[in-house]
Each structure stands twice: as structure tokens, then as C-alpha cells.
């Protein structure tokens, strides 16, 4: 009986000593927690999409708390989250233009030609690996196999008539679809853009008209007629400067290929 009591006492004393040592170590090596970082992290939506340019919400919260990133750096949270984080950080959130993804291709099944029938994996990256970089006759055109759709975590992009189409109301401008597109057809633009060029081809006019009825032919009519000088030609392709465009619509009316389209305001 005495031996049992001695063992019990020893175990109890050992437990107390270990507890004291752990408590001392916890205080000695405790990592200081930035209360602002914790508060910012709680305010972020938690999607961990990486659209902000950081590895996830934890990394962004740390960057905002340290002043490395702006309070409106989260594309998913938008103005509401930016305002809340601004209050935490004691600064006023800047009013930024809301962005959304746009697919620079209008080559639907009816308008764009195919050069062969494709039977491989229904993935744009896989299709690009076969000879000719996919079945579409235009080497710059949307393949329509949905790599961007698979990358989108917000159900904001779908394939319609052979071309990827973005739902601007759902898009949070995380940029995942931009990274996923092997043809580099998707771009983030302000949702209040008046007009966009729905083409990415740099081929000459003859080649463009052979493969797609709505491709940019590089005729320069839109650039010459633009009263705001908002359109330039880059390697045979019309490019609209959204910061300069006044939305007059003259470019859309002058384009013989109808590849410049009006965007309804959000």
C-alpha cells in the first residue's frame, strides 16, 4: 500500500513540475499576435483564391496589417470588405474600379472554322499540345473546352456556342481563368468599360477572313475614327484604352467585322 502511495505522489509531483515547465516555456517562447492581423483575417471572406497576389487570406491579412498591401486588396470581398478592413486599420478605403474577366474572342461555332475534328481530352491545355495547337482554324481563338471553367471557383464562366463567356455579376476578378487559358484570351478589365475588342488575332486580314467572320482585320478604321484617340493598333489588332474611351460608340459602328462590342453598364 505504501509503495502505491509513493508512486502516486511521485507521478503527481512529476506532473506538477512538467506543468510548471510548460507554462514557463509557453511564456518564454510565446509568439506575439498582431491583433490587427487577426481582425483583418476575420474580415476577409476566406476563399483563399490567390486573386490578391498572395498565397491566401492569411498571407494577405499579414500584408495588410504590416502596411505592405492596401486595405482594398481583396478582389472577392469588394468595397464592403475594404471598408471594414479600413476601419480596422484606421484608414479610408480607396474607391477602386470593379474589375471582371473578359474573353477576347467572338469566334462562336457559326463564325469560326475548325481545321479538323478533335477527339482528345476535353481540356484546352491538352488540345494545345496536339499538332496545330487545337482544332480551331484561328490559332488565337478560344478552343471552348473549358479549362477556364474548371479554374473558376465562383461559377462565373461557362462555354456558350463554343466560346467561354463570363458572367460579370458573379466574377470577382480573382484571375484564375486568366492563368488557366493557354491562348491568353482572358483579360481583367473594369466592369464599366464601354466597348471591348472581341478578338486576339494578329494574323493579316486575308488569313483572318479565311478562318473567322468576326475577327479583327487590322483595317484601322476604328482607330482613325475615334474622337478620343482611345484606340491604337498593336501588331495588327485594335486595342482600346479603357481609361480614355468616352463611350461614343463610333468604333463599333465603323468596324466592318463587328468585333467591337458594347458592354452594358453594371
What pLDDT, in 10s, does the model give residues 177-200?
999 999 999 999 988 899 999 999
User: What is the C-alpha to C-alpha distance for residues 203 and 44, in angstroms, rounded to an integer?
Assistant: 44
Listed by start position, the domains of the chain span 35-89, 99-262
Considering the chain, what is the average pLDDT of its residues?
85
- DSSP 3-state of 212: strand
Structural domain 99-262, CATH architecture: 2-Layer Sandwich (3.30)
Structural domain 35-89, CATH architecture: Orthogonal Bundle (1.10)
| Paired strand residues for 157 | 166
User: What is the C-alpha to C-alpha distance for residues 241 and 193, in angstroms, rounded to an integer?
Assistant: 10
Residues 6+ apart with CB under 8 A from 237: 197, 199, 200, 201, 202, 216, 218
Please report the pLDDT score of residue 51 as a whole number.
74
Please report the pLDDT score of residue 187 as a whole number.
94
Q: What is the CA radius of gyration of the chain?
A: 28
* 89-142 confidence digits (pLDDT tens): 777 766 667 889 999 999 999 999 999 888 888 899 999 988 888 899 999 999
Amino acid at each position: 500500500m505504501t509503495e502505491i502511495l509513493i508512486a502516486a505522489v511521485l507521478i503527481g509531483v512529476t506532473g506538477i513540475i512538467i506543468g510548471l515547465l510548460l507554462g514557463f516555456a509557453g511564456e518564454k517562447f510565446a509568439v506575439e499576435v498582431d491583433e490587427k492581423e487577426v481582425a483583418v483575417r476575420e474580415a476577409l471572406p476566406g476563399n483563399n483564391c490567390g486573386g490578391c497576389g498572395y498565397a491566401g487570406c492569411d498571407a494577405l491579412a499579414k500584408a495588410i496589417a504590416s502596411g505592405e498591401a492596401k486595405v482594398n486588396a481583396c478582389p472577392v470581398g469588394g468595397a464592403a470588405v475594404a471598408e471594414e478592413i479600413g476601419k480596422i486599420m484606421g484608414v479610408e478605403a480607396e474607391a477602386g474600379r470593379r474589375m471582371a474577366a473578359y474573353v477576347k474572342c467572338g469566334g462562336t461555332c457559326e463564325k469560326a472554322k475548325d481545321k479538323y475534328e478533335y477527339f482528345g481530352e476535353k481540356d484546352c491545355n491538352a488540345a494545345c499540345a496536339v499538332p496545330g495547337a487545337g482544332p480551331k482554324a484561328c490559332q488565337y481563338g478560344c478552343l471552348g473546352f473549358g479549362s477556364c471553367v474548371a479554374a473558376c471557383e465562383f461559377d462565373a464562366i461557362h462555354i456558350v456556342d463554343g466560346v467561354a463567356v463570363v458572367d460579370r455579376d458573379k466574377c470577382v476578378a480573382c484571375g484564375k481563368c486568366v492563368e488557366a487559358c493557354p491562348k491568353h484570351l482572358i483579360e481583367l478589365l473594369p466592369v464599366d468599360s464601354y466597348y471591348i475588342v472581341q478578338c486576339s488575332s494578329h494574323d493579316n486580314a486575308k488569313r483572318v477572313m479565311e478562318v473567322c467572320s468576326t475577327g479583327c482585320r487590322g483595317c484601322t478604321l476604328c482607330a482613325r475614327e475615334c474622337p478620343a484617340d482611345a484606340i491604337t493598333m498593336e501588331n495588327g489588332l485594335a486595342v482600346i484604352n479603357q481609361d480614355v474611351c468616352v463611350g461614343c460608340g463610333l468604333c463599333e459602328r465603323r468596324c466592318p467585322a463587328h468585333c467591337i462590342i458594347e458592354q452594358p453598364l453594371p
